[in-house]
Amino acid sequence: MENPKNCKNEEDRLKDIRAELELRVKVRTAELTRLNEELRKEIGERKAVEAGVDTLHRQIEFILEATKANLAIVDKDYNILYVDPKWALRYGDWKEKKCFEYFTDRKNPCPDCAIDEALKTKKTVVTERVLPKEGMRPVQVAAIPFQNEKGIWLVAEINVDISQKKKVEEELQRYRNHLEQLVEERTQDLLQETVRYRNSEFEKSRLNRQLLKTNEKLKSISLIDAHTGLYNYRYLQDAIEVEFNQARRYAQNLALIMLDVDYFKSINDVYGVAFGDLVLKQLAKQLKRMIRRYDILVRYGGEEFIIISPRLDRNIAFNLAQRLLESLNFMNFGNKKHSVKLKLSFSVVSFPEDRVKSGIDLVNLANRVLSRVKESGGNRVFSALDIKSQSRKGAEKISKTAGVKTLKNTISKLNKQSKQGLSESIFAFAKTLELKDHYTGEHVENTVHFATEIARELNLPKEDIELIKQAAMLHDLGKIGISENILLKKGKLNKREFNEIKKHPQIGADIIRPIQFLHALIPFIFYHHERWDGKGYPSGIRGEDIPLGARVIAIADVYQALISDRPYHKAFTKTAAIDIIKKSSGTQFDPRIVSTFLKVLGREKKA
């Protein structure tokens, strides 16, 4: 039988053990609860981090898309660790590929690689490059070095599309260049204005000093020709007397050279007054360059100029004038469209060789000598000695004439013979074309007939009819200067050949211009290929701006061409030719002259 005392002890011990176990269970349970709570919290935090990372990825992708940028992550060995999905859609699978082979199809790293520089300096490197796989699209590359969670250095490459930026930069550069050009041009203009202003102020100062010495009343009068920039006639009136008195006082020589452009009216008639003004301005400029620094150049009036040369005697002045004539004959004047060579008449007078009493007497003597040069044909140099010798010869001839009545009869006969010989000479001149182009020779005769009949039907004055007749004889004279290969070509002319043919009115006018008694024909010859609607050549004038004679010759010329066999087409019937003329009324031809021409044809049919 057990001892009750021992049993009680055992129960107490078991109770203590149970209490200790319960305590331990409570502690363990509490610890498990805490661990479970911490685990739950850690899981929540991780989910939040993962959600944040996912959100960050979406934000990055949104930003990349919005900014047209692309992202790639690369390690130090150029291995691609990440490419954003939008970029991967264009370039394909990037895994286990090097950046240089993936993006540029290269077998080796790119020269001056931004990745190497970024890893070396541990700083962001910004460069520009083009993407061959995207049509050489320009991008700006920002290579950003960073360490991952393991401490390994990687590079994030952000590529931003800068094609639009490039376009803007190019446009800005063009705009900047344009502004710089405008600034430069404006600066040049201002510099030129400054120089002109200074020159003008200097000239005004010089003139004012001289005007105060000569005549107070001349202060308000301009002494400069506005067109050529030379001194004008008002200045000459005082300057010639000042120079003459000085030469006489100090027993010095004084020479005066007067020059005039021959046949200048024909230049204005053919090319227009504006062109003639340009030629005079260029001539004045050349003369200023060629005379001595202290010579005085004056525009005497129109196309006449005077050179006052102090301390020059007659022989030296004559030689100077001869050199000027030879040099100016060689030069071309005009613009890119038209160019002419000038013929000039020169007269040379001098003091004291030519016995005159004043400066204006010297000018008047130069005028008389110049008139004699013009009468002798022009384009030469005469001095007062030449007109004295010619006057003696003329006096001898007159003394041999048996009275005034006989002289008048002689002049009348010569005049009649000259008019008759003029028409014959013109027609003979035109017939020389047959040596080059047989068609043109025959064509001339028929064109003359129709042009003359149209002029008569228009009731023009006899002298105008004669001018149109003579111009019709010579209207194709310029074809002398056209190659036979073009004139006789079978088939349509090409653009170059047609441009050569279009030169023949100009060539014809240039041939005739030096012949004084023919210069009235020049406008008719020069403009006979112009059209009523302004689409003709060589000047493109229209309507009644075309000289009447040229309009008459044009319709006669075309009609005769239509009814004749040409190298490039067979002759039209007269009926077909008339229909073409009618259809061209108001476009190619003057309607009034078309109507007149049809009357001429109708009258000839009845006859």
Instruction: Answer whether residue 482 shows pLDDT above 90.
Output: no
**Each residue of 113-126: b (16+ CB within 10 Å) or e?**
bbbbbbbeeeebbe
Instruction: Answer whether residue 163 shows pLDDT above 60.
Output: yes
What pLDDT digit, counting tens, does each position of 3-53 carry? 666 777 777 778 888 888 888 778 878 877 887 787 778 777 767 666 654
Instruction: Answer whether residue 511 shows pLDDT above 70.
Output: yes
What pLDDT digit, counting tens, does each position of 118-161 carry? 888 888 888 887 777 777 778 788 889 988 888 889 988 888 87
Superfamily of domain 420-606 in the CATH hierarchy: Hypothetical protein af1432 (1.10.3210.10)
What pLDDT digit, counting tens, does each position of 550-584 carry? 999 999 989 988 888 766 667 889 889 899 999 99
For the chain, what percent of residues have pLDDT higher than 70?
82
Q: Classify residue 122 as left (phi > 0), alpha (psi -120 to 50) or beta.
A: left
pLDDT confidence bin for 446, thresholds 50/70/90: confident
CB 195, CB 262: distance < 8 Å: no
In degrees, rounded to 5, the angle at the alpha carbon of residue 81 between the alpha carbons of residues 75 and 82 is: 130
Contacts made by residues 59-66, CB under 8 angstroms, sequence distance 24+: 60/84, 61/85, 61/86, 64/158
* Selected residue with higher pLDDT from 28 and 400: 28
User: Could you give phi then psi for residue 503, rounded to 5 degrees?
Assistant: -80, -10
The predicted pLDDT at position 403 comes to 41
Mean pLDDT of 523-544: 90
The predicted pLDDT at position 419 comes to 46
The predicted pLDDT at position 439 comes to 47
What is the overall mean pLDDT for the chain? 80
The predicted pLDDT at position 329 comes to 93
Q: Do 67-161 and 222-399 have matching folds? A: no
pLDDT confidence bin for 59, thresholds 50/70/90: low
Instruction: Answer whether residue 407 shows pLDDT above 50.
Output: no
Instruction: Answer whether residue 230 shows pLDDT above 90.
Output: yes
Indicate the CATH number for domain 67-161: 3.30.450.20
Residue 381, exposed/middle/buried by CB under 10 A (0-12, 13-18, 19+)?
buried
Query: Distance between CA atoms of 282 and 296, rounded to whole angstroms?
Result: 17
Q: What is the dihedral of CA 83, 86, 92, 98, to 10 degrees?
A: -20
pLDDT confidence bin for 64, thresholds 50/70/90: low
Q: Which of 383, 232, 240, 209 is nearest to 310 (CA)?
A: 240
Provide the β-strand partners of residue 71.
158
Mean pLDDT of 321-332: 94
Which two three-digit tokens encode residue 510?
């240039």
* Selected residue with higher pLDDT from 135 and 426: 135
Mean pLDDT of 67-89: 82
Most confident of 59-63, 107-111, 140-144, 308-312: 308-312
The predicted pLDDT at position 216 comes to 53
Q: Domain segments of the chain: what residues?
A: 1-66, 67-161, 222-399, 420-606
* Selected residue with higher pLDDT from 113 and 161: 113
Instruction: Answer whether residue 303 shows pLDDT above 70.
Output: yes
Query: Distance between CA atoms of 101 and 594, rounded to whole angstroms?
Result: 81
Of 35-49, 128-142, 187-201, 331-345, the least confident: 35-49
Query: Distance between CA atoms of 271 and 274, rounded to whole angstroms?
Result: 8
Of 406-415, 432-441, 457-466, the least confident: 406-415
Question: Which fold, 222-399?
Answer: Alpha-Beta Plaits (3.30.70)
For the chain, what percent of residues have pLDDT higher than 90?
27
pTM for the model stands at 0.41
Measure the N-to-C terminal CA separation of the chain; round to a whole number of Å.
184
Residue 446 neighbours by CB under 8 Å, 6+ apart? 556, 560, 564
Instruction: Answer whether residue 219 shows pLDDT above 50.
Output: no
Query: Distance between CA atoms of 140 and 160, rounded to whole angstroms?
Result: 5
Q: Which H/E stretch holds residue 347?
A: strand 344-351
Contacts made by residues 273-276, CB under 8 angstroms, sequence distance 24+: 275/334, 275/335, 275/338
Instruction: Answer whether residue 296 shows pLDDT above 90.
Output: yes
Mean pLDDT of 287-301: 93
The predicted pLDDT at position 122 comes to 86
Count of C-beta atoms within a 10 Å radius of residue 303: 21
The predicted pLDDT at position 245 comes to 94
Query: Distance between CA atoms of 597 and 294, rounded to whole angstroms?
Result: 62
Instruction: Answer whether residue 434 shows pLDDT above 50.
Output: no
The predicted pLDDT at position 410 comes to 41
